[in-house]
Each structure stands twice: as structure tokens, then as C-alpha cells.
Amino acid sequence: MGQQASHQAKVLTVSDSIEAGNREDISGAALVDRLMNSDFDVIERRVVPDDVEEISNALSYMAYGFNGLIVTTGGSGFGQRDFTPEATRRILDRTAPGIAEAMRSVSVRGRLSRAIAGTRGSALILNLAGAPDRALEMLDAVLEVVPEALGLLGGGSVPTVAAIELKSAD
């Protein structure tokens, strides 16, 4: 128990009904549990309505000065009020299409997702599905590469082939 988590994470739930207090945030809670069990320290959890401005503002605030993972849940499908990808795209510095493709390709239903991934400053932002099981499978599909991405965003570097060859020759 005394071991400190190696990375930090934040969870943003996007839902009119949860924000209004009409539904429980099951997906947000499931993501917090999965992240904590994967050696992440979840330092913030928020809920906003399905509104482009609200989502963009929350993501900007959450990413400011943060080197960690921010996951959103909800609003990435084809529903009339699903605006999370549009709101996320507004604030991203760079997209991460390989991560988004891996998240969407994990299941047949992922083909209905418009989820994106990218960076804002030194934060990595992932749009996940709203349903708890699909949000978790999307996260699981990319979780193993997140620590390396966060290290690079935090100023780390990837070893060169020459450095790897020198190390293995020792």
C-alpha cells in the first residue's frame, strides 16, 4: 500500500443526465478503479454537460500544467448531443491518430465511435465511450503505451538503436 503511483490521471464524464443528478456516474467510477489498479493516481474527477464550450473549458483547465492522462467518458457516439470529439479537437495541440485507431478497433461497436486522442501541453487526452464496458475496453487497448507517451510528453526521450545495441553488448 505504501507504494506511490507512477503516473497521474484525471477523469471527465460528459453527460447531461449525470451532471443534472438524474443518473449515477458508473463509467467514471469504473475508469477511476481501472486507472488506480493500473498504477495511476487519479487526482481529479469531474462531470460536465454535453456542451462543446463546457467540455472544452473543462479539458483546458484539467490539462493546464499537467503531465498525465486525461480520459473522457461519454459524448463520442452519434447521439444528437454527442460533442466530445469536437470539443476535444478544439483544444488539442496535436492529435494521436494511432492511439485513437487502437481504441476504436478493439471491438465491432468501436466502429460507431468518433473518439479521438491527442495532446494538450504535456497531457494526453483520450475520448472513451460512455458505456462502462466499452470505456474500459477502449482504455485497456492503449493503456500499455500510455506511460511511454507521458514520459515523452514530460521531456523524456526514446533510446536510439545505437544506445540499445551498446547496452546489449555489455
- Digit-coded pLDDT (tens) for 13-46: 999 999 999 999 999 999 999 999 999 999 999 9
Distance CA 30, CA 34 (A): 6
Q: Please provide the average confidence, as pLDDT, over all residues in the chain.
A: 92
What residues does each domain of the chain span? 7-169
Give yes or no for a contact between 92 and 32, defined as CB atoms under 8 angstroms apart. no
Question: Which of 30, 9, 5, 19 has its CA nearest to residue 138?
Answer: 30
CATH of 7-169, one of 3.40.50.11400, 3.90.320.10, 3.40.50.880, 3.40.980.10: 3.40.980.10
pLDDT tens profile 40-57: 999 999 999 999 999 999
Strands (E), the chain: 7-14, 40-48, 69-73, 94-95, 117-120, 123-128
Tell me the whole-structure pTM to 2 decimals: 0.90
pLDDT tens profile 72-129: 999 999 999 999 999 999 999 999 999 999 999 998 888 899 999 999 999 999 999 9
Q: Is 29 left (phi over 0), alpha (psi -120 to 50) or beta?
A: alpha
Supply the pLDDT for residue 2.
46
As given in the structure block, the three cell numbers for residue 28 are 467514471
